[in-house]
Amino acid sequence: MKKILIVDDEPNIVMSLEYTFKKNNFEVFIARDGQEALDLLKTESPDVIILDVMMPMVDGFATIEQIKKDDRLKDCKVIFLSAKNKESDIEKGLSLGADLYMTKPFSIKKLVEQVNGLVGL
């Protein structure tokens, strides 16, 4: 079973993504901000991380910088899912090592297709 970590501070998005990915046979982990995600990643190695940019404590950009420094997580795919939709934000996210940058509002169906593609399903 593939593992996915959802890092977002918007409860409705988290609930929707958690339900959708469980239904698609993923083991789902949740973090409400970047620091909670980094703490969880000390013990878990998900296949995919869905990461918001604007969050309390540690934002998504700072979070991915820490993730990419961890050799244990080097094969983990990262998808930014953010309301920050300026070209400069997208370029920054991709330059920090994200595999994909999707903007909100988003299509859950398209997100699931992208995740499945990244993990080879």
Residue 81 amino acid letter: L
| Residue-by-residue pLDDT tens, the chain, 121 positions | 999 999 999 999 999 999 999 999 999 999 999 999 999 999 999 999 999 999 998 999 999 999 999 999 988 999 999 999 999 999 999 999 999 999 999 999 999 999 999 999 8
Domains of the chain from N-terminus onward: 2-114 (3.40.50.2300)
- What global pTM score does this model have? 0.96
pLDDT tens across 32-42, in order? 999 999 999 99
Q: Residues 87, 90, 95, 100: is their CA dihedral positive or negative?
A: negative
